[in-house]
Chain A
Amino acid sequence: MGRYVVRRLLQMIPVFAGATLLIFLMVNVMGDPIAGLCGERRCDPATAARLRAEFGLDKPVWQQYLTYMGNVFTGDFGTAFNGQEVTELMSTAFPVTLRLTLIAILFEVVIGITLGVVTGLRRGRPVDTGVLLFTLVVISVPTFVTGLLLQLLLGVKWGWIRPSVSSEAPLDELLLPGLVLASVSLAYVTRLTRTSIAENRRSDYVRTAVAKGLPRRRVVTRHLLRNSLIPVVTFIGADVGFLMGGAIVTERIFNIHGVGYQLYQGILRQNTQTVVGFVTVLVLVFLVANLVVDLLYAVLDPRIRYV
């Protein structure tokens, strides 16, 4: 196990280098960052040249990349054009997004798996058909529609919640955004669990568990659910990465100043340092999430052993 983890960590290095290089190149192709800084008006050539020299943008791209990576390893993600340190932006944005992600994952696990088990055990019954139809609707309606609709109804019309999240973004204010963010994945988790449960329900070892005289509840929770969770765990593990980086729409709707919001601002203002910095961290999050999922397999299924 230990050797496997070390090997996986070593494999991350080239993946990390390749991914960041790609991002760096793409952001460079995106356009002239100095032009974005000046907004609508044309830049004063002298100021532009001064800024270019200051940010090292007059050097060739490969040199820029190496300098940047060198700085990243010392913990310096550079400075955004407005003078704020990128690490400072991160330290305010990531905790918010992390809280949002945690709430979303919690919804997926609790509601998604429960609904999946219930429908998987009652296949073809009205409950099953109802939930299937509901998940289909959730999957096909885009997030911004559900988000705006819920915000309008719960926040503005009925006044149950604050329509936008304050800058501290406490957990209770993030409940509705978390649910909106989780909705599509939640529907997928429900369907995955349902299929998995329905399939394993007829397996021989479940019959053995019944033949041993175990109560139904124990058969389902101990024997059936354990095996059915492997595909679900894979999905949720990969989803952590997506949720950490991909909450742009939800964060915009509820005015949450998280990673998605900062990335959006960074792209809009052609702020290279912010975009590359945030995406670099997200690449790391993805890599670690994948590793954790792979290690979880071994915990869930004793037949899987890493050497």
Chain B
Amino acid sequence: MTTLTKTEGEKAPTGPDSFLSVRDLRVRFSTEDGIVKAVDGLSFDVERGKTLGIVGESGSGKSVTNLTVLGLHNPKTTTVEGEIVLDGQELVTASEKEMEKLRGNKVAMIFQDPLTALSPYYTVGRQIAEPFMKHTGASKKEARERAIEMLTKVGIPQPKTRVDDYPHQFSGGMRQRAMIAMALVCDPDLLIADEPTTALDVTVQAQILDLLKDLQQEFGSAIIFITHDLGVISDMADDLLVMYSGRAVERGGVREVLREPKHPYTWGLLSSMPRLGGDTAQALNPIPGSPPSLLNPPSGCPFHPRCAFTGEVPGDRCSTERPPLGEGRAAACHLTAEQKQTIFIDKIQPRLR
């Protein structure tokens, strides 16, 4: 803890309780076609015991950001700049040995597709026991006991026999539970869940979300929850980060952002979401255009080619000047606060009914 206070003194922007702090993160891949700016100047904080939701379209840099936190990017083709501070420890410059100690222990990750993310050749029990043995030095027998305990915790029936099953003998929901059990086996302080419920049907999805919430209460871990499902995020997250084209465009508490979104992109996301009680005759409003190429991102605000409100901003600021994202509750947009309010009340809110 002493190291934490020390870093706080040196680095002003780090919040008082932040457990993970990402500052001005830039991730670039060099490909044959040029340099892809997958993440471009991203900053966020996650507090202990809180959940940060990250939403955005495919290719907006959500997953890349979190793979970078764990150091899972390909070091040959990727350059990472900026800083990632986890509990006082800088991760961007950390050695592979130090990262090995963190992975699966202090920071764990739940992957999207549990069928491909689990090895088909080892029993579920062995795969859960593996990181436990590595990080705690437990014996095979102890690790097996622990695996059974974890399977019980995530609600797998008959864990004593199921521990010796292979992943293909599990159903989709059970596999995701096993994946969660594997991530939680060393009681991680930070859990990164990369679209953990995308491949599941809604009833299983609800069970998994409940499970994650229960486990968070029990262990007090911080969670980063990546998804493109706004319904899920409103249920899970405390804070919300909206990403577009490798940058954060809006940030705030989850209620504030979803009730009073301030960025045209967030408006678009909310309007394109179907509602249960919605009028079937009324068309959904998808965001026009397609996500920008990360090889050659648009000048100024990356959203301006698709934004319907560039006309409201004087001059050509939208296409020349990149709007900054302020601290705390903020949106990276050139529209003034009053303009945002009037546009939201007049044009956007009626669509969300």
Interface residues of A (CB under 8 A from B): 203-205, 207-216, 222-223, 226-227, 300-303
Cβ-defined partner of A223 (8 Å) among B101, B104, B119: B119
Which chain A residue shows the least CB distance to B76? A124
Cβ-defined partner of A213 (8 Å) among B103, B121, B168: B103
Contact check, A205 vs B182: say whether CB atoms are below 8 A apart. no
* A203, A212, A226 — most chain B CB neighbours (10 Å): A212
Q: A210-B72, A212-B131, A213-B100 are in contact. Are A302 and B116 (CB under 8 A)?
A: no
Cβ-defined partner of B134 (8 Å) among A211, A212, A303: A212
The interface residues of chain A lying within 8 Å CB-to-CB of B286 are: none
- Distance of B181 from chain A, by nearest CB (Å): 12
Q: A204-B111, A302-B166, A303-B168 are in contact. Are A211 and B120 (CB under 8 A)?
A: no
Given contacts A208-B111, A215-B134, A301-B120, 15 further A-B contacts (CB under 8 A): A204-B113, A205-B117, A208-B182, A209-B130, A211-B104, A211-B111, A212-B103, A213-B134, A214-B100, A222-B122, A223-B119, A300-B121, A302-B120, A302-B168, A303-B120
Provide the bound-state CA to CA distance between A301 and B121, in Å.
6
Name A's interface SS.
helix
The interface residues of chain A lying within 8 Å CB-to-CB of B135 are: 213
Provide the bound-state CA to CA distance between A214 and B103, in Å.
8
The interface residues of chain A lying within 8 Å CB-to-CB of B307 are: none
Cβ-defined partner of B121 (8 Å) among A210, A214, A227: A227
- Distance of A262 from chain B, by nearest CB (Å): 42
List 10 tightest A-B contacts by C-beta distance, closest first: A213-B104, A213-B103, A212-B104, A204-B116, A212-B131, A205-B119, A204-B117, A302-B166, A208-B117, A211-B109
Q: A204-B111, A302-B166, A303-B166 are in contact. Are A211 and B103 (CB under 8 A)?
A: yes
Which chain B residue shows the least CB distance to A210? B72
* B104, B113, B182 — most chain A CB neighbours (10 Å): B104
How does the 8 Å CB contact mask read for B70-88 relative to A, with 1 for contact and 0 for none? 1010000000000000000
Contact check, B131 vs A214: say whether CB atoms are below 8 A apart. yes
- Distance of B121 from chain A, by nearest CB (Å): 5
The interface residues of chain B lying within 8 Å CB-to-CB of A300 are: 121
Cβ-defined partner of A211 (8 Å) among B70, B166, B168: B70
B138 interfacial contact with A, CB 8 Å: no
Cβ-defined partner of A212 (8 Å) among B116, B120, B121, B130: B130
The B121-168 residues at the A interface (CB cut-off 8 A) are: 121-123, 130-131, 134-135, 166, 168
Provide the bound-state CA to CA distance between A211 and B70, in Å.
7
Provide the bound-state CA to CA distance between A207 and B114, in Å.
12
- Distance of B268 from chain A, by nearest CB (Å): 31
- Distance of A198 from chain B, by nearest CB (Å): 13
Contact check, A211 vs B72: say whether CB atoms are below 8 A apart. yes
Cβ-defined partner of A209 (8 Å) among B70, B101, B108, B119: B119
Q: A205-B117, A207-B111, A227-B121 are in contact. Are A213 and B166 (CB under 8 A)?
A: no
Which chain B residue shows the least CB distance to A216? B96
Sample (22) of A-B pairs whose CB atoms are under 8 Å apart: A204-B113, A205-B116, A205-B118, A205-B119, A208-B111, A208-B117, A211-B109, A212-B130, A212-B131, A213-B102, A213-B103, A213-B104, A213-B131, A213-B134, A214-B130, A215-B134, A223-B121, A223-B122, A226-B119, A226-B121, A300-B121, A303-B166
Provide the bound-state CA to CA distance between A300 and B120, in Å.
10
- Distance of A11 from chain B, by nearest CB (Å): 27
Which chain B residue shows the least CB distance to A211? B109
- Distance of A300 from chain B, by nearest CB (Å): 7
The interface residues of chain A lying within 8 Å CB-to-CB of B168 are: 302-303
B105 interfacial contact with A, CB 8 Å: yes
The interface residues of chain A lying within 8 Å CB-to-CB of B105 are: 213
Provide the bound-state CA to CA distance between A303 and B120, in Å.
7
The interface residues of chain A lying within 8 Å CB-to-CB of B116 are: 203-205
How does the 8 Å CB contact mask read for B40-84 relative to A, with 1 for contact and 0 for none? 000000000000000000000000000000101000000000000
